[in-house]
Structure formats: C-alpha cells, structure tokens
Amino acid sequence: MEMTDRFLRACRREPVDHTPVWFMRQAGRYMPEYRAIREKYSLLEICYRPELAAEVTLQPVRALGVDAAILFADILLPAIPLGAGLEFAKGEGPVLGNPVRSMDDVRALKPVDPEINLGYVMEAIRILRAELNGVPLIGFCGAPFTVASYLIEGGSSREFLKTKTMMYAEPQTWHALMEKLSAVLADYLVAQVRAGAQAVQVFDSWVGALSPQDYEKFVLPYSQWVLQAAQAQGVPVIHFGTNTTTLLPLMKHAGGDVIGLDWRIPLDLGWTLLASDVAVQGNLDPAVLFAPLPEIKTRVQDILRQAGGRPGHIFNLGHGILQHTPVDHVKAVVDMVHEYSPVGIENL
C-alpha cells in the first residue's frame, strides 16, 4: 500500500515509511508530454486554461511516481494584474514591459484580488484536487524579494543592480513596493489554500544575492508577512532560496515549516545551521541528473545518509530540473529515494 501522505507527514516532521520526493520544475520541457502541449500553446496559455494547467501538473505525477504535485503556474503571474506586463520571449526568459523604477510606478500598480484576477489558478487547483487521488498538491508563489527583482529589472538579472540601487538609494520606494507585493502575495497564497492547495512553497530563488544585513533590513519582514499568512491557514509552508548558506538562520526566522536547501551546502551542515525544530528539503545538484546512474545513486545515498533517517527530510533537487534532463534518470531518483530510505545499515 503506497503512503500518499508521506510528503505532508515529513513537512510536519512526523515519521514516514520512505522519504518523500518531488522535484522543483518537475513539469517542463525535459518531458516529451509537456513539449507536445507546448507545441500548441504558449506557457501563459497553459496557465490561463485550468484544464491544461491541471493536465501538465499531472504529467510528472504519472510518469515519475513523485510524492507530491506542484501546481503548474509561474511566480510572475501576479505581475499581469499588477500592470507590470509579462511575456516569455523566445530564449530570453520573462520580459516585463512596464517595469517599476520609481515611487510613481509603485503607486500606479493596480490592486489585485487573487480570487478574481488570478481565478484561473484557483480553478486549476480545484480540478487537480478532484483528479490527484490523494497525492498532495503544492501551491506556490514567489517571495517578495524575488518577484520585486523581476518587476524592477524588467526580467532576469545577474547582478540585481537596479534592484539594489532602489534599495540603497530610494529605500522609501523599495519599502512601498515590498508592502504592496507582500499584501498581494499573502492574499494569493491564502486563496490557493482555500481553493485546495495542501501545502505551499515560497520561492525566494535569487535572495542569495543579498548580505545577511540587507536581508534582515530590506527583505525579512516582508517574507515573514507572506510566510506567516500562509502558515496561519494551517498548511505546511516551504521556504526556498538558493545561495543561502549565510542567510539560513534569518530565513528560518522569517518563517516556514520546511526550509529548502540548494546543493552548495551539505544537507547535514544546512540542517545543523537551522537546528532540528524545522524540516528540510533538498538538495541534489540538478546537473547530477546528467551523470550515469551509478554516480547518481552514490549521490542520492549520500544525501539520505546525511539526513540520517531523521523525521523531516523531503528529498528534492537544490533548484529546478534543467532542460534536456533525461526523464529516465529523474524516474530512477524517485525509485532510489524510496528504495534506500529509511536509512538503515542494510540499505547503504
């Protein structure tokens, strides 16, 4: 009998039969089923059509046997009703045509009611809950810092120079923007939980660009607002970022029942820095999925050994699945995680 609640149990640091596993970006271009749908529809069209978003969400659940589904959507969808614009230009990633650079731009952002303006996301969640047969559904949003960085830069960035310049040179503008975003993102997560999301993840993917001092002053209170609004709904909340070795204690302080770790820090060291009263998620390097299976196996076992069978480990990658990842390797990792956990001497 498969345990369908091992993901939710692990989020609460309860004992499980096998370590749960799912993957950030588990739906996407590495899967032939996804590419077949993308031939006919754009990324945004898939998001806008709840039946398609639900179908794409289910693809990796069927193909891989993961222990959780993550809603198919994007962290930048709220930029559309806010009025910042959103397009996915070929090969360029997201482009926001109406970026936020001044206090006037912040004031011009439109009010957002997620139930109405992002209602298609809630509809996808309702469809999925009926179709998932007990596999838990994770909702998500971007954290205020990471979403703000896209709004300010107008797209992806390496240095976050416009973002940091607003922070350091126009702190009032920065704080006004973060307040607006936090309110919208908190409402958005609450709406997802009301629609049926059984856990939520907050993606602060690029927060590792900041020093701990700047994180504490310019980001922490806003992340806390969003994370705690979701936690107040009674569902497990996963707080994820990359390059966060020096930020982990502050991220834990901001909130989350589970903290996501990337591969730059050994899982056991990350868990030690966080202390044992929080669960952890991670942290295989997504590039390892391109290695031969015996190498993958060694590294999966190493992560499980570091978790040491302690309750509260959710296996995942340290960041999203990369394009061109071999699907059979992803499936093999799911099977390895289940086979080699719980960790026992006979297993490893």
Q: How far is CA 84 from CA 114, 180, 204, 257, in A?
A: 16, 13, 19, 31
Residue 145 contacts ligand CP3 per CB under 6 A: no
In the chain, the DSSP E strands lie at 69-70, 87-89, 93-95, 137-142, 199-204, 237-241, 258-260, 279-284, 313-317
Residue 41 contacts ligand CP3 per CB under 6 A: no
The CA distance from 57 to 25, in Å, is: 10
Residue 169 corresponds to which tokens in the numbers above?
């040179």
Residue choice 72, 145, 160, 315 for contact with ligand CP3 (CB under 6 A): 72
58: nearest Cα among 141, 142, 140, 133: 133
Residue 320 contacts ligand CP3 per CB under 6 A: yes
Q: How far is CA 152 from CA 54, 149, 266, 267, in A?
A: 31, 5, 33, 33
Nearer to ligand CP3, 70 or 274 (CB): 70
Size of the site for ligand CP3 (CB under 6 A): 21
192: nearest Cα among 12, 61, 72: 72
The CA distance from 81 to 109, in Å, is: 9
Question: Interacting stretch for ligand CP3, rule CB under 6 A, among 20-28, 119-127, 225-233, 254-262?
Answer: 20-28
Residue choice 24, 54, 84, 118 for contact with ligand CP3 (CB under 6 A): 24
Nearer to ligand CP3, 36 or 161 (CB): 36
Residue 140 contacts ligand CP3 per CB under 6 A: yes
Question: Interacting stretch for ligand CP3, rule CB under 6 A, among 69-77, 96-104, 160-168, 337-345?
Answer: 69-77
Residue 75 contacts ligand CP3 per CB under 6 A: yes
User: Torsion over CA of 159, 211, 256 and 19, rounded to 10 degrees?
Assistant: 70
Residue 49 contacts ligand CP3 per CB under 6 A: no
Residue nearest to ligand CP3 (CB): 205
Is 34 annotated in the active site?
A: no
The CA distance from 57 to 77, in Å, is: 16
Residue choice 12, 18, 38, 101 for contact with ligand CP3 (CB under 6 A): 38
Q: Report in angstroms how near the CB of residue 75 gets to ligand CP3 at its nearest.
A: 4
Nearer to ligand CP3, 43 or 336 (CB): 43
Backbone angles phi, psi at 259, to 5 degrees: -110, 130
Place of tokens 């009926």: 130
Residue 76 contacts ligand CP3 per CB under 6 A: yes
Question: At 329, is the secondary structure helix, strand, or coil?
Answer: helix
From residue 275 to residue 304, the character string flagging contacts with ligand CP3 as x (rule: CB under 6 A) and all else as - is ------------------------------
Question: Interacting stretch for ligand CP3, rule CB under 6 A, among 67-75, 103-111, 115-123, 171-179?
Answer: 67-75
- 291 burial level (CB within 10 Å; 0-12, 13-18, 19+): middle
Residue 93 contacts ligand CP3 per CB under 6 A: yes
Give the active site residue among 5, 12, 38, 214: 38
Place of tokens 């060291």: 269
- Omega cis (within 30) before 342: yes
Residue 212 contacts ligand CP3 per CB under 6 A: no
Is 158 annotated in the active site?
A: no
Give the active site residue among 34, 150, 215, 222: 150
Is 38 annotated in the active site?
A: yes
Instruction: Give the residues lining the site for ligand CP3 (CB under 6 A).
Output: 24-29, 38, 43, 70, 72, 74-76, 88, 93-94, 140, 156, 203, 205, 320
